[in-house]
Amino acid sequence: MLQARVIPCLQIIEGGLYKTTQFKNPKYIGDPINAVKIFNEKEVDELMVLDITASKSNREPNYELLKQLASECFMPLSYGGGINNFKQASQLFELGIEKIAINTAAITNSKLISEIVQVYGNQSIIVSIDIKKNFFGKPCIYTNNGTKNTGLDLFVYLEKLESLGVGELLITDIDREGKWSGYNIDLLKSITDKVKMPVLINGGCGNIDHISDAINIGKANGAVVGSMAVYQKQGMGVLISFPKYSDLEKVLNL
């Protein structure tokens, strides 16, 4: 297993597998269970599933779907979307989800983080932070699938999360999400220089050199890939895919 993780991310909406661009214009990809089976064959290190409209639509996690995904998944599985309380988190862990990612609830109910850490350990929780730059280039934290500006200061918020014992951060650059243009390394580096928490970066990956930049320059602990994991190439058709480990080892210097 690679020390630095490369994690395919599957976006689901109403039980189907989709892919967005800048959190908009979702394109239907197929059945998420079939995608999980293919990633099993490719022996990926970890898999992330995000229900991208659950919180905005005020829906609970789709437990039945997640039960099926967890039973099919041979690798560690992370899930985020619609998690608002400890009961929901516990139910997800019981289904076989190894890590849960919370976004909106981390802001509105920070006590939830402490509860999960106390019972399941900090390695079980990821806080997801979605970021867009404002007119002046300042990174702003958004919730509700990128529609609500929280007004929070990013670095003050990071300090709070670290004090709560968060196990990992998932940073998504909304402006780059689905664009294949590379990760926002400047944003990533500003965060990894500030915190001791492991950081995953998401949004913009188009090739393995982008992954290398995230790990070797941005000092991310993991690179999350979306479009690159479900399309043949930019502008081309659906193909569940993952880079060869031999190629990843070369660019990551591992």
Reported as a single tens digit per residue, the pLDDT across 21-72 is 999 999 999 999 999 999 999 989 899 999 999 988 889 999 999 999 999 9
Q: Which listed residue (51, 130, 173, 175) is catalytic?
A: 130
The residue ranges of every structural domain in the chain are 5-252
130 noted as active-site residue: yes
What token pair was written down for 110? 């920070």
CB atoms within 10 A of CB 150: 17
The pLDDT tens digits of the residues spanning 104-154 come to 999 999 999 999 999 999 999 999 999 999 988 899 999 988 999 999 999
CB of 84 within 8 A of CB of 109? yes
CB atoms within 10 A of CB 249: 11
pLDDT band at 1 (very low <50, low <70, confident <90, very high): very low
Query: Does the structure show a pLDDT above 60 at 2?
Result: no
pLDDT at 236: 64
pLDDT, mean of residues 207-220? 95
Q: Dihedral of the CA atoms 22, 24, 26, 27 (nearest 10)? A: -60
Quote the pTM value: 0.94
pLDDT band at 252 (very low <50, low <70, confident <90, very high): confident
pLDDT at 253: 65
pLDDT band at 244 (very low <50, low <70, confident <90, very high): confident
Report how far apart, in Å, the C-alpha atoms of 226 and of each of 7, 50, 99, 216, 229 are: 9, 11, 18, 20, 5
Mean pLDDT of all residues belonging to the chain: 93
pLDDT at 55: 85
**CATH level 2 (architecture), domain 5-252:** Alpha-Beta Barrel (3.20)
CB of 54 within 8 A of CB of 82? yes
